């Protein structure tokens, strides 16, 4: 018998409010508040916006358990094992110090997760000091994302038994809430991937074939109009052939892009896979220089950057007449990453660029979507150079 997820969650969280004996009013109210928090997390469509006000409630509930000197601050950390990304969510009423954010980022992205299991008392780990004493509890664990409840204290973490006892209700309900949310997000991701695959197949079986036919016919028409007898039609047929060819190529690229997948949103690996793909299509020698120690772009940024790089690689293979191409990705200062795509080909041609202007326009539009800067210019030595600069801010902390 099927049951809606919302109905199941309501029944599930209500079980935590049922007790064998009557409870004081303030305890009942606390459980109800935490039930509401867990339910809001489980059914959230935008977790980044949902969490801050909910963490205000969680922090207030915990601070009712600890006396004045032990008043704590609550954060929730998302850590991706495959991409070394961390995202720290904090209450809207308080913000962790920059030193604390950097320490959390270093600890949870540098391979220290094998030192801790379900819970950790990081103030006791001298080799990994933090600005504030910290207690952490792993709420969920998967290959894609681990979610931690992190509680910092002003002086030191209270004894283990005391902390676990006082935090049990919060940990249990948050764990259930985030587990349900993660399962729902996974289902949504699978549904999106399935829909994109269907769209790619429909494009291939319909529009791509029609455009392929028009591309051949328009090229033939342009060839026939090269004689002086049709000189007035020549500019029209050239544009028609060029735009039809470009529409066909873009459709094929859309089909390929719809089938693209980045394991764990790992941009550097996705670029390497694309370089290998285009290298097999030509005799060009590709050099890939990855200087990023970790992946520090979010999924939307990663996908747009990948599309831009693929367009650059496609242009190199089809138009540059190059023998060598170089792709460099690196961190420029702490606040930007830069991607260079260079070749030693014939360089930019104004007339050809005009016929292929849609490609350059789309590249610029993709860059604007993620607040990146795109520069396309002649290479100082020979060929073409594309420079892509993306501000990364503090999102990876």
Reference 103, options 78, 80, 124, 86; nearest CA is 86
What would the mean pLDDT of 105-118 be, rounded to a whole number? 58
Q: pLDDT class for 12, splitting at 50, 70, 90?
A: low
Query: How many other CB atoms sit within 10 Å of the CB of residue 161?
Result: 8
Is the confidence at residue 47, as pLDDT, over 60?
yes
Reference 169, options 23, 50, 73, 30; nearest CA is 30
Number of structural domains the chain divides into: 3
Is the confidence at residue 112, as pLDDT, over 70?
no
Q: pLDDT class for 84, splitting at 50, 70, 90?
A: low
pLDDT tens, position by position, 320-360: 889 999 999 988 876 788 999 999 998 876 455 544 456 78
**Pair (94, 162) in one structural domain:** yes
**Pair (88, 68) in one structural domain:** yes
**Pair (17, 137) in one structural domain:** yes
% pLDDT > 90, the chain: 13
pLDDT reported for residue 209 = 81
**DSSP label at residue 266:** -
**Pair (303, 373) in one structural domain:** yes
For residues 288 and 271, what is the distance between their CA atoms, to the nearest angstrom? 9
Domain ends where: 154, 188, 222?
188
Does residue 280 or residue 294 have the better pLDDT?
Answer: 280
**Pair (111, 92) in one structural domain:** yes
pLDDT reported for residue 363 = 87
Q: Give whichever of 7-21, 111-125, 183-197, 374-388 has the largest mean pLDDT.
A: 374-388
What would the mean pLDDT of 369-377 be, rounded to a whole number? 91
pLDDT tens, position by position, 302-317: 888 988 998 899 889 8
**Pair (37, 183) in one structural domain:** yes
**Pair (287, 394) in one structural domain:** yes
Q: Answer whether residue 197 is part of any domain.
A: no
pLDDT reported for residue 341 = 94
Q: Answer whether residue 386 is part of any domain.
A: yes
Residue with tokens 């520090």: 296
**Pair (20, 155) in one structural domain:** yes
Q: Which residues pair with 85 in a beta bridge?
A: 80
Is the confidence at residue 61, as pLDDT, over 50?
yes
Is the confidence at residue 261, as pLDDT, over 90?
no
pLDDT reported for residue 389 = 92
**Pair (249, 368) in one structural domain:** no
- Inter-residue contact 311 to 362 (CB < 8 Å): yes
The CATH number for 99's domain is 3.30.450.270
pLDDT reported for residue 301 = 84
Q: Answer whether residue 12 is part of any domain.
A: yes
Q: Answer whether residue 199 is part of any domain.
A: no
Domain ends where: 221, 238, 259?
259
pLDDT mean across residues, the chain = 78
Reference 202, options 250, 251, 245, 261; nearest CA is 251
What would the mean pLDDT of 272-287 be, rounded to a whole number? 88
Q: Answer whether residue 26 is part of any domain.
A: yes
- Supply the range of the domain harboring residue 215: 206-259
Q: Give whichever of 15-19, 126-130, 351-355 has the largest mean pLDDT.
A: 126-130
Q: Which residues of 73-99 are buried (b: 16+ CB within 10 A; e: fewer)?
A: bbbbbbbbbebbbbbbbbbeeeebeee
Q: Answer whether residue 198 is part of any domain.
A: no
List, in sequence order, the alpha helices (H) in the chain.
5-14, 25-42, 47-63, 98-109, 160-205, 207-224, 234-258, 267-279, 299-315, 350-355, 357-369
- φ, ψ of residue 265 to 5 degrees: the values are 60, 35
**Pair (47, 148) in one structural domain:** yes
**Pair (23, 98) in one structural domain:** yes
- Inter-residue contact 160 to 147 (CB < 8 Å): no
**Pair (278, 182) in one structural domain:** no
């Amino acid at each position: 018998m099927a049951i809606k997820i919302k109905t199941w969650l309501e029944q599930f969280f209500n079980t935590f409010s049922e007790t064998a004996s009557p409870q004081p009013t303030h305890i009942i109210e606390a459980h109800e508040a935490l039930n509401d928090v867990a339910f809001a997390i489980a059914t959230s469509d935008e977790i980044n916006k949902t969490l801050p006000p909910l963490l205000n409630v969680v922090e207030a509930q915990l601070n009712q358990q600890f006396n004045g000197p032990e008043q704590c601050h609550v954060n929730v950390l998302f850590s991706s094992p495959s991409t070394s990304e961390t995202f720290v969510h904090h209450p809207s009423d308080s913000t962790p110090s920059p030193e604390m954010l950097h320490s959390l980022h270093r600890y949870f992205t540098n391979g220290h997760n094998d030192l801790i299991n379900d819970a950790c008392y990081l103030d006791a780990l001298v080799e990994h000091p933090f600005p504030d004493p910290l207690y952490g509890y792993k709420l969920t664990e998967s290959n894609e994302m681990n979610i931690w409840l992190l509680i910092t204290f002003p002086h030191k973490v209270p004894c283990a038994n005391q902390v676990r006892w006082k935090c049990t209700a919060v940990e249990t309900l948050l764990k259930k809430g985030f587990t349900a949310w993660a399962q729902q997000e996974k289902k949504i991701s699978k549904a999106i991937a399935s829909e994109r695959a269907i769209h790619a197949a429909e494009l291939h079986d319909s529009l791509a074939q029609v455009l392929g036919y028009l591309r051949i016919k328009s090229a033939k028409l342009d060839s026939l109009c090269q004689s002086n007898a049709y000189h007035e039609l020549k500019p029209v047929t050239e544009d028609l052939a060029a735009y039809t060819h470009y529409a066909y190529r873009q459709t094929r690229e859309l089909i390929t892009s719809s089938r693209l997948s980045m394991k764990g949103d790992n941009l550097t690996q996705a670029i390497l896979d694309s370089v290998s793909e285009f290298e097999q299509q030509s005799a060009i020698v590709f050099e890939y220089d990855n200087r990023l120690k970790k992946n520090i772009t979010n999924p939307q940024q990663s996908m747009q950057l990948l599309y831009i790089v693929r367009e650059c690689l496609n242009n190199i293979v089809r138009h540059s007449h190059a023998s060598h191409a170089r792709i460099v990705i690196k961190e420029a200062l702490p606040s930007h990453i830069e991607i260079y795509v260079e070749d030693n080909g014939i360089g930019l041609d104004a007339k050809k660029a005009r016929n292929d202007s849609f490609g350059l326009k789309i590249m610029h539009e993709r860059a604007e979507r993620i607040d990146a800067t795109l520069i396309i210019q002649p290479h100082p030595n020979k060929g073409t150079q594309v420079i892509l600069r993306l501000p990364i801010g503090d999102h990876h902390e």
